[in-house]
Structure 1
Amino acid sequence: MIEEKGILFVLSGPSGVGKGTVRKALFEKATNLQYSISVTTRNPREGEKDGVDYFFKTKEEFQNMIEQNQLLEWAEYVGNYYGTPKEYVQETLDKGKDVFLEIEVQGAMKVKKNFPEGVFIFLIPPSLEELKNRIINRGTETEELVTNRLLAAREEIEMMDAYDYVVVNDEVEKAVEKILSIVQSEHCKRERVAKQYKKALEGDVT
């Protein structure tokens, strides 16, 4: 039997594009995706739970994780820190389960450098005006922070070329279907399947 390792999928995009909404809808349909919860120093938003949406840490605790090399990636974004637990990701992949990361663009670029075999998906809004409306409708951002996020979004969208796939989040359901298609396609890639078969054949003594 061919032992298939999991694939690391990274969903990223500008703040306010709806990454969290798409991820939650995706996990209502996907059965083999394991969500890797990020560590962050930002304050929880209403309804968010520690250990479910994020691992909420102080900046001192986060710094300790950096020093102990416990993060696959970490980044500072609008005054807060975000990171991905390294050991958890690798152990999950080794068990044959796909790992799904939902992170900011800076973090995704670090993962790409440290884990280039991952699959990187860029989620974009239909327009910058729509992105602005989504951020404002959160009701959690000051006018200054909205402006900062939009400026950051423009810079992040220019980094689209660093990704393997681009998905427009005009409707959540359509975005989810496209991501599911990407997951299926990646498991059927010749390079990936051939590598698994060659490894199995090396151990075949018949």
Structure 2
Amino acid sequence: MINGIIISGCSGVGKSTVIHRLLEMHPEFTFSISCTTRQPRPGEKSGVHYNFISQEEFMRLVEQKYFLEWEKAYTDYYGTPREALEAIEGMVKVVMFELDTRGAVNLKEKFPQFTTIALLPPSIEDLTRRLVQRGSESADTIASRQKHLREELQRLLTFDFALVNEDIEETVSAVERIVLSLNYRTKHAARHIEKLLEAL
């Protein structure tokens, strides 16, 4: 059974850092690479962090029902490829998704067995500082993101887990513990329990 792990939170909270650190620690984990029409940030590579495509290409894929879920965030489009999940089904045990809060809720509705983990900033001031220091967005874009913070934070109240990302090492360790513990949920051992019952 695949453990779908959805990592979400406000922009600048550290989703990418946490996920790629976990992928380095656990080569057996797989990352579902989303498609987006936004411009790459410094250090980002197409096919590694996102598949960066044009809006025209994105809408063509929407028409072809290529995405498990897709949505518009501010001025850019994001989508989770259907093939990303289908191609790895039965091959790996952990699939990680990096989604904004709306995309995370949409995917969870379609796959309620997936686990949602919210990353939270220590404070609004800290989140603003991270966005400014990232240097990839204009002041107008940052202001627009802050205008929607209440809506985003309210969505996170529905998540299975929530962690304050104050120290990146502690956060990575906490997410790792959550992911590994999921292997011990009862439904994962259902087949073994059935065998034991048959032996009685």
Question: Structure 1 residue runs of 4+, over 4 Å off?
Answer: none
Q: Residue 25 of structure 1: CA displacement? A: 1.6
Question: Take 1:31 and 1:48, find their aligned partners in 2: how far apart are those partners?
Answer: 20
**Alignment-derived partner of residue 125 in structure 2:** 129
Which of 13, 20, 39 aligns to 1:17? It is 13
Uncovered stretches (5+) of structure 1, i.e. residues with no partner: none
Uncovered stretches (5+) of structure 2, i.e. residues with no partner: none
Superposition map of 1:104-119 within 5 A:
104-119=100-115
Q: Which amino acid aligns with 2:100?
A: E
**Alignment-derived partner of residue 197 in structure 1:** 192
Q: Is the 8 A contact 2:7 2:98 kept in 1?
A: yes
Q: Which amino acid aligns with 1:167?
A: L
Q: Which amino acid aligns with 2:171?
A: A
Query: Secondary structure in 2 aligned to 1:99?
Result: strand
Question: Take 1:166 and 1:92, find their aligned partners in 2: how far apart are those partners?
Answer: 27
Alpha-carbon displacement from aligned partner over 1:120-161 (angstroms, at most 9, x marks no partner) = 101111111100000010112211111111122222111122
Q: Which amino acid aligns with 2:177?
A: S
Which of 48, 56, 64 aligns to 2:60? It is 64
Alpha-carbon displacement from aligned partner over 1:163-202 (angstroms, at most 9, x marks no partner) = 10001110111011111111111110113322x336x74x
What TM-score do you get using the length of structure 1 for normalisation? 0.90
**Alignment-derived partner of residue 97 in structure 1:** 93
Q: Residue 94 of structure 1: CA displacement? A: 2.0
Question: Take 1:154 and 1:131, find their aligned partners in 2: how far apart are those partners?
Answer: 13
Structure 2 residue 149 is matched with structure 1 residue 153: yes
CA RMSD between the two structures: 1.8
Q: Is the 8 A contact 1:123 1:166 kept in 2?
A: yes
Identity among equivalent positions (%) equals 37
Question: Take 1:47 and 1:58, find their aligned partners in 2: how far apart are those partners?
Answer: 19
Paired residues, number = 198
